C-alpha cells in the first residue's frame, strides 16, 4: 500500500513585480494559508518520506512555509518537469521512486493537480482551489504499478476549511 499526497500551491500574487510566470510569488493570503495548512497537517498526518515539487517560486514558498509549520524535514526534490506539466509527467516522476518509499507528496499547479487527482479516482472531477492538500491510499507495492481508478481519497482539505 502506498500513500500519495498532492498539494496545489497557495494563492499567488498577480500584482507583484515579477518577470516570468515561473517567478510569481505568494500573496499574503497564500502565505497565511500555507502556514495554516502546515499547522493542520502537523496534527493530522505523518510527513511524507519524499517530496517532489515544481521549481516555481510560488510552489517553493508554499512548501517551505507548510514544512516549517508542520515540523517536516523530508527530502525535497525540485523538478522543472513539474512546472507546466501533464499528468503523464507526474506519473513518470513517481515511477522513478524507489519501491521502499511508502509515501510521497507532489507539489504543483492547476489544472494538472486536479486532472491527476481525478485520474487517480477514476474520473470523478476533483475541485482543487489554491492551497488544497489531498491524501490518497493506493493498493500497489511498486510506484510503477500506478494506474487510473486505483486510489481512494483519505484526506481533502482546503485553506478555507481551516479558517476560523
What is residue 19's DSSP assignment? S
Predicted local distance difference test score (pLDDT) of residue 161: 95
| Interval 27-47: pLDDT, tens | 999 999 999 999 999 998 889
For 50, phi then psi, to 5°, come to -140, 145
DSSP-derived letter for residue 7 is E
Domain coordinates in residue numbering, the chain = 2-162
Cell 525540485 locates to 78
Burial of 88 by CB count in 10 Å (0-12 exposed, 13-18 middle, 19+ buried)?
exposed
Distance CA 25, CA 10 (A): 10
pTM of the predicted model over 0.75: yes
DSSP state of 146: -
Topology annotation, domain 2-162: Rossmann fold (3.40.50)
Amino acid at each position: 500500500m502506498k500513500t500519495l499526497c498532492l498539494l496545489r500551491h497557495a494563492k499567488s500574487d498577480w500584482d507583484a513585480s515579477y518577470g516570468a510566470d515561473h517567478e510569481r510569488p505568494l500573496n499574503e493570503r497564500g502565505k497565511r494559508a500555507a502556514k495554516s495548512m502546515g499547522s493542520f497537517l502537523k496534527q493530522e498526518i505523518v510527513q511524507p518520506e519524499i517530496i517532489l515539487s515544481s521549481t516555481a517560486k510560488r510552489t517553493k514558498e508554499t512548501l517551505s512555509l507548510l514544512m516549517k509549520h508542520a515540523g517536516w524535514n523530508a527530502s525535497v526534490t525540485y523538478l522543472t518537469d513539474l512546472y507546466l506539466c501533464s499528468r503523464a509527467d507526474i506519473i513518470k516522476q513517481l515511477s522513478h521512486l524507489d519501491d521502499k518509499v511508502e509515501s510521497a507528496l507532489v507539489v504543483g499547479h492547476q489544472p494538472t493537480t486536479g486532472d491527476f487527482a481525478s485520474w487517480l479516482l477514476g474520473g470523478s472531477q476533483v475541485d482543487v482551489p489554491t492551497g488544497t492538500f489531498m491524501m490518497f491510499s493506493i493498493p500497489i507495492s511498486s510506484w510503477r504499478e500506478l494506474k487510473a481508478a486505483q486510489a481512494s481519497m483519505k484526506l481533502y482539505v482546503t485553506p478555507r476549511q481551516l479558517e476560523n
